[in-house]
């Protein structure tokens, strides 16, 4: 199998001919294009698995009619769930059945961005009400009519609407970066909801991303600059003011308008940025040079570097399963679904067993490790029995020898001479 | 006479010396054989030279040893001496602290009253001068003696022990509360005695009280007063224990802390080097596991294994519960007795009127109950404890406490009061002689409300017995009685609990309305106000969790009133303003309609550039206020005009001005960042005019007023500078320059540059072309904006070109007059020069127009050097060479004229410079372009 191919998928807001285009990351040649309407900002996502078609709010394969204007859209990395922000609410669909699993309305204003963690255990939503909410997917889709899903954490330290967020790797231990119009980017710990870092810039930040190893934070400003913040600098302060030049902080200059989307390639060498000046630029992170500039016909709304799905370039491959019709109403627990012979498999409330805590695991591991050494020194149960028997036998023989010796010597000594 | 003579002769008789005989001794010879011995009285003369002494020459060792004397007077004297000695020589304290404390503590139980009192005084003196951490090692001893005194069989010693306790409570509350077990038992024994119940009886009902109130007829005070005394100390002691508890969260905020701006997380900074060498241990946090769990195996406090009736310490829930189980029945008895006494005293039907004595006893009872509740070591324990209280005592409490609620003060006739006073004096005046009935009632409310539970289907409704409390709270708040902030806090706490537990909409509404009416009073001090504010804002944050609060009219009324309050408050109190702004921001981010409309209504006042709140507040608050702008549904023209003024006046920093412009930009339809369906707040026309006025930097009135002050113009150059430039101060210039940067950026991002340029051009022609006096910052800003906005396809119109060339020339002329001493003027020079040069380079035909404007023949003698300087500066600027070359003819013409007009006799330095520059430029470029320009 060939090496995985990374491609650039981008879309702009006013192109007549196609909705989104797929470019080769390294050569910049256009590989594919998908026709259709236009997708607005942050509404392009790709379903992994069998389907290879990018989804967007009004989409090629099948139009999904939503109850309102879709502000953001994301699919879970394992391709099972689709989350969209429609005004203040978050709609969560199951892709395979098209069922609407939950409608979460904890935000007070329009949802601007949604991201899943890489293991699909959590997702984070940012909105114009200055808050970002961390949701645990399993608790959201639990089946319980009178249980209102609560976010696991409320990240509420921004003072103006959140424009973008990025979820790092490592599942629930990931770090989340949020960008806001209040000119700050904040990095949070997903598991505890604590803020780790806040960086203050001179301009409002419209997009944010981290490189895979989380050495650098890339922030797209509203003046067209992209700021690179080094996360492994020596100074430990929770609130920082961004100054280019110190501690490996750098500025990528080239765009002339809002930088709306940022993405870093898997190897952390290339940075992709899309801007309202109708270009998508590819940067070499090390040298901060613009390698390639892909012009579009309108403000760029989405640009992302991703691994090309296997069947993306097979011209006549169609998804094995057609996308089902996405329902518009939340499925109740008692099944209208069961009538049509379908089964809904969802967790009931509190059926999930509590996992061992970290410390318990550590203790277990410790005992396991000790057991190994114990075993090597003392042997395990069965061997000991045998060994005990052996030893007893030996003792017996020794005693016998000793007795013989005694008898012999007494005979020798008491022999009348 | 003869005799005399004879005597004389005797005197002078010759001594005959003979050989072999000893020489007789002379009469006047001194016998040196004697030896002297001194008489010493060592006992009398020995002084304690080892240390300082009292006026009676007693050293500290003497005094301490005298404390063992059997005579009370000697002991008394020694204690007095100690006190004198220590006050003169405080350094003695350090060296003798251990002995001193042990000896003084030993006389706490002395039989003589005077000695005890003096000992207490000495202790107080020591306590005043020794910090608690140095007493800590001796404290077990002290507390042992204290318990000894408290449990002494003699009543008077018990009473004096209270005073000792007072001293310790005052100075060493932390030490005292660290080992509460023994003391608590002592307290109990002071007012009650253990009933010696037989085993059989105990088996009968194990729940039977084993403690009963005791009455000792031998006391000097009535038993009620004595109990009050003890309860007062107990209350103080428990308070000290509670204060020692790690502060978790107060009652009112045990929500999720969702909008916790202060951030309650303490950071843990680690340095890797230290970790490597094991200098610091790393804490493992439970949620750092692969799968975060909410259940922690950590227990921060060890679970106490004590099973005694009074726990070894109050660190576990069980211990507290046990202690409470012992104490609460006693307290109830005290309460009952007090109320019975009271009733017998005035035997009227007005049972709710209390004498001051009864009142203070009851108050103490309630205070202790309250403290007991707070003793729970953890938040979750507190809930369990509350539930336990409810289960055990709700009936009793209801029966006793609420019977005559609310309580009032009994109007005692005057002569009785006198008696009272006298008696009080005799009892050496209790610290808290009178208790406000209000305080009593409020405390009662709080105690009772803490017992109420969240309404569920299973439990019977609490509302029946809560009603009088609710009515009381409502009346108190709405009647406008003056409340101290502590009382108010308690009352608000009560209301909070009621609102949260009793989920009825009408009740909530009534209570909130009462608070709101209190809030609307005029002369509230800062503390009260902020208390009320935080109450409301917390309530608002709870909105989503408790649906019955959600659409409360009072709450939305309060929110809507916030902007008005902010504008009325002005600059008087920044902390309160900060609180207001925080609440406004919370509401704005949630898109509360009423609040936003009200904010919009008052926005022009708030953001007024001369007397609006924004210019008076400290910079962090200014920033928050600027951020609030984002949420406004509409920005009317008047507001934009004010904002423009804010940006230009320099009352807010340039950074903040830039972010203000950015926020307005974001809310215009031209910004391009739209997620979802948000209407743009600013009309495009308004937005453009906002940008334009910010660009010009001065309001139209100011500009027109400048026109009249021609004479004050500091730039005297007439013909060389066709426009009169008004010099702006350098800091203002810099401020404006930074703002203009941002404006240009916004203009560039508007979309079509050519259209934008047209709009700008119209604006400039309409408003600025007529002016004869222009501030230099405006002129420079114009040049900069035009340069940055110009599209290659667009050719500026003739009048605009003319205006620009005038500006350019005047600025260049200004440059020659500016001194370049200070760094500020240097900055200004650079800014002006940069803008001129880039404009000359970028705008086509601008250079030609400028050159055409130069009429050498109109210039006076003085101005010629300036012109020469300008020209040589331009010639030295290499990016302009190409443009200069295309205008060679014009240049030559000017230089010829210059040479003609300047007096050829004295060929001055500037002239030679100019000619040299010219020739170099021409020669250089001719070599490049192979042109043939030969001259000079």
Residue of A nearest to B584 (CA): A159
**Please, what's the largest Cα pairwise distance for chain B?**
163
Residues of A in contact with B275 (CB under 8 A): none
Q: How close, in Å, is residue B627 to chain A by CA atoms?
A: 7
How confident is the model at residue B819, as a pLDDT?
64
Q: Does A106 touch chain B (CB under 8 A)?
A: yes
Shortest CA distance from B628: residue in chain A = A160
Res B730: pLDDT: 79
Residue B297 sits at the chain A interface (C-beta within 8 Å): yes
A207, A262 Cβ separation under 8 angstroms: yes
CA–CA separation, B851 and B690 (whole Å): 34
Q: Which residues of A touch B259 (CB under 8 A)?
A: 156
Pairing outcome for strands A122-127 and A111-116: antiparallel
Chain A residues with CB inside 8 Å of B288's CB? 173, 191, 358
Q: Is the peptide bond before B107 cis (omega within 30 degrees of 0)?
A: no
Distance from CA of A70 to the nearest CA of B (A): 7
Contacts of B676 in chain A (CB under 8 A): 69, 71, 85, 87, 110-112, 128
* Coil, strand or helix at A213: coil
Interchain CB distance below 8 Å, B258 and A154: yes
Whether A72 and B544 lie within 8 Å, measured CB to CB: no
Distance CA A140, CA A155 (A): 18
The residues in B 252-281 lying below 8 A from A, measured between CB atoms, are 256, 258-259, 261, 263, 265, 267, 269
Per-residue model confidence (pLDDT) at position B579: 85
Instruction: Indicate the burial class of B257 (C-beta count within 10 angstroms; 0-12, 13-18, 19 or more).
Output: middle
Q: Identify the residue with better confidence: B347 or A91.
A: A91
Local structure of A295: helix, strand or coil: strand
The predicted structure's pLDDT at residue B315: 61
Nearest to B591 among A109, A204, A299 (CB): A109
**What local confidence, expressed as pLDDT, does residue B40 receive?**
77
CA distance B567 to chain A (A): 21
Q: Give strand ranges (E) for A285-368.
A: 289-295, 300-307
* Mean pLDDT (whole number) for A275-301: 86
Instruction: Write out pLDDT tens, residues B275-314.
Output: 566 555 555 554 444 444 444 444 444 444 333 333 345 6
As a whole number of angstroms, the distance between CA A319 and CA B764 comes to: 60
Please give the residue of chain A at the shortest CA–CA distance from B258.
A154
Closest CB to B286 among A41, A173, A358? A358
Give how far A315 is from chain B: nearest CA, Å: 34
User: DSSP assignment, residue B138?
Assistant: G
Q: Which residues of A touch B658 (CB under 8 A)?
A: 202
Question: Which chain A residues are within 8 Å of B752, Cβ to Cβ?
Answer: none
Mutate to test the interface with B, among A222, A253, A277 (most CBs of B within 10 A): A222
Residue in A69, A130, A203 nearest the CB of B662? A203
Helices (H), strands (E): how many in chain B?
42, 6
Taking the Cβ of residue B678 and every Cβ of chain A, the question of whether any pair is shorter than 8 Å is answered with yes
Question: Distance (Å) from the C-alpha of residue B630 to the closest C-alpha of chain A?
Answer: 8
pLDDT at residue B200, rounded to an integer: 38
| Residue from B781, B796, B810 nearest B694 by CA | B781
Tokens of B516: 């709101």
Burial code (b: 16+ CB inside 10 Å, e: under 16) for B501-522 equals bbeeeebbbbbbbbbbebbeee
| Cα–Cα dist A312/A196, whole Å | 39
pLDDT tens digits, A9-22: 877 777 666 667 78
pLDDT tens for each residue of A117-140:
988 888 999 988 888 999 988 888
Decide the pairing of beta strands A175-180 and A162-167: antiparallel
Query: pLDDT at position A393, please?
Result: 95
| Percent of chain A's residues with pLDDT above 90 | 14
- Only one residue has tokens 């009519």, namely A145
Residue from the list B293, B658, B676 with its beta carbon closest to the beta carbon of A357: B293
Tell me the chain B residues in contact with residue A202 when contact means C-beta distances shorter than 8 Å.
655, 658
Q: In this predicted model, what pLDDT tens digit does every residue of B256-277 receive, in sequence order?
A: 333 333 333 444 455 556 656 6
Q: For residue B333, what pLDDT is reported?
A: 80
pLDDT for the residue A264: 92
The alpha carbon of residue B122 is apart from the nearest alpha carbon of chain A, in Å, by 51
The predicted structure's pLDDT at residue A125: 92
The shortest CB-CB distance from B291 to any of A128, A203, A355 is to A355
Residue A56 is predicted with a pLDDT of 43
**pLDDT band, residue A235 (cuts 50/70/90):** low
Which of A32-41, A156-165, B22-31, B745-754 is predicted least confidently? A32-41
Distance (Å) of CA B36 to CA B31, B33, B39, B41, B617? 13, 10, 10, 16, 93
Residues of A within 8 A of B748 (CB-CB) are 256-257
Q: Tell me the C-alpha distance between B160 and B166, whole Å.
A: 10
Contact state of A129 with B590 under an 8 Å Cβ cutoff: yes
**Minimal Cα–Cα distance from A64 to chain B, Å?**
17
Predicted pLDDT at B881: 77
- Cβ-Cβ contacts under 8 Å for B896 (sequence gap 6 or more): none
A114 CB near a chain B CB, below 8 Å? no
pLDDT value of residue A409: 92
Residue B358 parent element (H or E) = helix B356-374
* Residue ranges, chain B, pLDDT below 70: 1-7, 43-51, 193-222, 245-317, 341-354, 376-380, 403-435, 453-463, 480, 502-503, 522, 543-551, 672-678, 708-721, 792-793, 819-821, 902-907, 925-936
Between B355 and A287, the higher pLDDT residue: A287
Q: Hey, is the C-beta of A157 within 8 angstroms of any chain B C-beta?
A: yes
Nearest one of A141, A187, A148, A171 to A347, comparing CA atoms = A141
Q: Do B676 and A131 touch (CB under 8 A)?
A: no
Q: Please check whether residue A194 touches B, CB under 8 A.
A: yes
Residue A239 with chain B: CB contacts under 8 Å:
none
Q: State the pTM of this model.
A: 0.70
pLDDT at A406 over 90: yes
Q: Are the beta carbons of A357 and B284 separated by less than 8 Å?
A: no
> Which of A13, A112, A130 to substitute to test the interface with B, most B CBs within 10 Å?
A130
B290–chain A nearest CA distance, Å: 7
Give chain B positions within 8 Å (CB) of A172: 290-292
Task: Kindly provide the ipTM of the predicted complex, given to two decimals.
Answer: 0.73
pLDDT for the residue B49: 62
* pLDDT for residue A166: 92
B312 burial type by CB count under 10 A (0-12 exposed, 13-18 middle, 19+ buried): middle
Instruction: Determine the Cα–Cα distance for residues B4 and B349; give it in Å rounded to an integer.
Output: 126
Hey, how many other C-beta atoms are within 10 angstroms of the C-beta on B654? Answer: 19
Is residue A285 within 8 A of residue A271, CB to CB? The reply is yes
Q: How many CB pairs under 8 A join A and B?
A: 115
Q: Does B295 touch chain A (CB under 8 A)?
A: yes
């Amino acid at each position: 199998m060939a090496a995985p191919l990374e491609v650039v998928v981008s879309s702009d807001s006013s192109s007549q001919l196609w909705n989104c285009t797929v470019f080769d990351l390294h050569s910049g040649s256009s590989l594919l294009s998908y026709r259709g309407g236009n997708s607005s900002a942050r509404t392009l996502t790709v379903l992994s698995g069998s389907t290879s078609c990018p989804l967007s709010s009004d989409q090629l394969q099948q139009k999904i009619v939503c109850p309102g204007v879709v502000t953001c859209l994301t699919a879970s990395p394992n391709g099972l769930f689709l989350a969209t922000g429609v005004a203040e609410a978050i709609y969560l669909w199951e892709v395979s059945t098209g069922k609407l699993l939950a409608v979460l309305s904890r935000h007070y204003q329009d949802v601007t961005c949604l991201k899943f963690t890489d293991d699909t255990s959590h997702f984070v939503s940012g909105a114009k009400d200055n808050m970002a909410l961390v949701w645990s997917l399993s608790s959201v889709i639990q089946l319980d009519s009178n249980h209102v899903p609560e976010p696991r954490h409320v990240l509420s330290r921004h003072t103006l609407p959140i424009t973008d967020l990025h979820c790092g790797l490592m599942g629930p231990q990931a770090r989340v970066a949020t960008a806001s119009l209040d000119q700050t980017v904040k990095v949070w710990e997903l598991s505890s909801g604590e803020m780790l870092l806040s960086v203050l810039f001179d301009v409002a930040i419209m997009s944010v991303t981290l490189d895979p190893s989380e050495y650098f934070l890339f922030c797209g400003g509203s003046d067209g600059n992209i700021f690179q913040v080094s996360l492994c600098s020596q100074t430990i302060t929770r609130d920082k003011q961004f100054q280019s030049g110190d501690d490996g902080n750098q500025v990528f200059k080239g765009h002339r308008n809002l930088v709306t989307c940022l993405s870093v390639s898997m190897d952390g060498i290339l940075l992709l940025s899309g801007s309202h000046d109708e270009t998508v630029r590819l940067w070499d992170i090390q040298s901060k040079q613009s390698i390639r500039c892909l012009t579009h016909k309108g403000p760029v709304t989405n640009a992302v570097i991703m691994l090309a799905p296997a069947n993306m370039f097979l011209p006549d491959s169609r998804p094995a399963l057609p996308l089902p019709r996405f329902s518009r109403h939340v499925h109740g627990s008692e099944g209208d679904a069961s009538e049509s012979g379908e089964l809904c498999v969802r967790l009931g409330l509190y059926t999930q067993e509590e996992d061992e805590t970290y410390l318990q695991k550590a203790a277990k591991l410790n005992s396991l490790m000790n057991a190994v050494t114990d075993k090597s020194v003392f042997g395990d149960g069965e061997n000991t029995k045998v060994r005990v028997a052996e030893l007893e036998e030996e003792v017996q023989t020794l005693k016998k020898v000793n007795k013989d010796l005694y008898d012999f010597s007494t005979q020798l000594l008491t022999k009348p001479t | 006479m003869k005799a005399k003579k004879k005597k004389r002769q005797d005197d002078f008789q010759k001594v005959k010396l003979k050989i072999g005989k000893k020489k007789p001794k002379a009469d006047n010879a001194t016998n040196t054989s004697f030896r002297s011995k001194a008489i010493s009285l060592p006992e009398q003369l020995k002084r304690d030279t080892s240390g300082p002494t009292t006026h009676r020459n007693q050293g500290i060792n003497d005094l301490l040893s005298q404390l063992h004397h059997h005579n009370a007077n000697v002991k008394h004297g020694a204690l007095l001496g100690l006190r004198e000695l220590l006050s003169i020589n405080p350094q003695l304290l350090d060296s003798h602290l251990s002995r001193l404390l042990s000896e003084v503590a030993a006389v706490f139980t002395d039989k003589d009253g005077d000695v005890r009192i003096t000992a207490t005084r000495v202790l107080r003196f020591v306590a005043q001068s020794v910090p608690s951490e140095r007493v800590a090692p001796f404290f077990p001893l002290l507390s042992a003696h204290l318990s000894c005194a408290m449990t002494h069989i003699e009543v008077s010693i018990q009473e004096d022990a209270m005073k000792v306790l007072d001293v310790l409570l005052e100075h060493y509350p932390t030490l005292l509360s660290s080992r509460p077990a023994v003391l608590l038992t002592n307290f109990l024994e002071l007012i009650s005695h253990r009933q010696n119940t037989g085993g059989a009886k105990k088996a009968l009902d194990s729940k039977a009280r084993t403690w009963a109130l005791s009455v000792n007829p031998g006391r000097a005070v009535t038993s009620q007063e004595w109990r009050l005394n003890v309860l007062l100390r107990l209350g103080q002691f428990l308070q000290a224990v509670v204060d020692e508890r790690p502060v978790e969260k107060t009652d009112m905020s045990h929500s999720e802390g969702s909008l916790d701006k202060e951030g309650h997380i303490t950071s843990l900074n680690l340095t890797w080097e230290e970790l490597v060498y094991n200098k610091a241990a790393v804490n493992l946090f439970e949620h750092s596991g692969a799968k975060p769990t909410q259940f922690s195996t950590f227990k921060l406090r060890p679970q106490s294994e004590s099973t005694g009736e009074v726990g070894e310490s109050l660190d576990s829930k069980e211990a507290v519960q046990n202690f409470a189980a012992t104490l609460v029945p006693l307290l109830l008895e005290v309460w009952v007795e007090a109320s019975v006494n009271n009733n017998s005293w005035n035997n009227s039907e007005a049972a709710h009127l209390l004498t001051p004595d009864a009142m203070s006893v009851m108050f103490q009872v309630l205070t202790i109950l309250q403290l007991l509740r707070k003793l729970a070591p953890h938040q979750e324990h507190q809930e369990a404890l509350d539930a336990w209280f409810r289960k055990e005592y709700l009936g009793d409490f209801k029966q006793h406490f609420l019977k005559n609620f609310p309580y009032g003060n009994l109007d005692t006739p005057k002569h009785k009061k006198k008696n009272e006073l006298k008696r009080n004096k005799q009892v050496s005046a209790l610290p808290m002689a009178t208790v406000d009935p209000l305080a009593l009632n409020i405390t009662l409310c709080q105690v009772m409300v803490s017992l109420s539970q969240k309404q569920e289907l299973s439990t019977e409704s609490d509302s029946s017995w809560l009603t009088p409390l609710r009515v009381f709270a409502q009346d108190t708040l709405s009647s406008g009685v003056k409340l101290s902030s502590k009382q108010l806090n308690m009352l608000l706490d009560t209301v909070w609990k009621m609102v949260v537990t009793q989920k009825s909409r009408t009740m909530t509404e009534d209570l909130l309305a009462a608070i709101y009416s209190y809030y609307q009073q005029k002369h509230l001090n800062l503390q009260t106000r902020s208390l009320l504010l935080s109450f409301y804002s917390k309530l608002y944050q709870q909105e989503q969790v408790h649906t019955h609060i959600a659409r409360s009219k009072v709450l939305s009324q309060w929110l809507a009133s916030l902007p008005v309050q902010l504008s009325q408050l002005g600059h008087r109190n920044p902390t309160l303003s900060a609180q207001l702004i925080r609440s406004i921001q919370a509401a704005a981010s949630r898109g509360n309609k009423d609040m936003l409309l009200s904010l919009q209504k008052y926005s022009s006042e708030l953001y007024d550039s001369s007397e609006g709140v924004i210019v008076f507040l400290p910079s962090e608050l200014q920033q928050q206020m600027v951020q609030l702008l984002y949420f406004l549904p509409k920005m009317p023209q008047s507001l934009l005009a004010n904002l423009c003024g804010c940006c230009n006046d320099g009352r807010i920093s340039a950074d903040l001005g830039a972010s203000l412009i950015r926020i307005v930009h974001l809310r215009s339809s031209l910004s391009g960042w739209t997620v979802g369906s948000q209407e743009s707040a600013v009309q495009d026309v308004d937005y453009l005019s906002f940008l334009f006025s910010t660009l010009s930097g001065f309001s139209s009135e100011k500009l027109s007023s400048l026109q009249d002050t021609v004479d004050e113009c500091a730039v005297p150059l007439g013909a060389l500078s066709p426009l009169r430039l008004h010099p702006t101060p350098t800091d203002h210039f810099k401020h404006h320059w930074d703002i203009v940067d941002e404006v240009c950026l916004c203009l560039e991002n508007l979309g079509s540059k050519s259209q934008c340029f047209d709009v700008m051009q119209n604006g400039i022609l309409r408003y600025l072309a007529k002016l004869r006096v222009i501030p230099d910052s405006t002129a420079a800003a114009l040049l900069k904006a035009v340069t940055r906005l110009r599209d290659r396809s667009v050719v500026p119109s003739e009048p605009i070109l003319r205006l620009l060339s005038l500006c350019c020339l005047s600025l260049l002329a200004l440059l020659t007059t500016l001194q370049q001493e200070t760094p500020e003027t240097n900055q200004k020079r650079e800014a002006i020069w940069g803008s001129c040069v880039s404009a000359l380079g970028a705008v086509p035909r601008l250079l030609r127009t400028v050159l055409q404007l130069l009429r050498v023949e109109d210039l006076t003698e003085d101005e010629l050097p300036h012109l020469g300087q300008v020209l040589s500066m331009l010639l030295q600027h290499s990016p302009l060479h190409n443009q200069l070359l295309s205008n060679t003819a014009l240049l030559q013409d000017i230089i010829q004229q210059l040479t003609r007009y300047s007096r050829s006799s004295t060929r001055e330095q500037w002239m030679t410079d100019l000619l040299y520059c010219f020739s170099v430029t021409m020669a250089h470029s001719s070599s490049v372009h192979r042109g043939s320009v030969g001259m000079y």
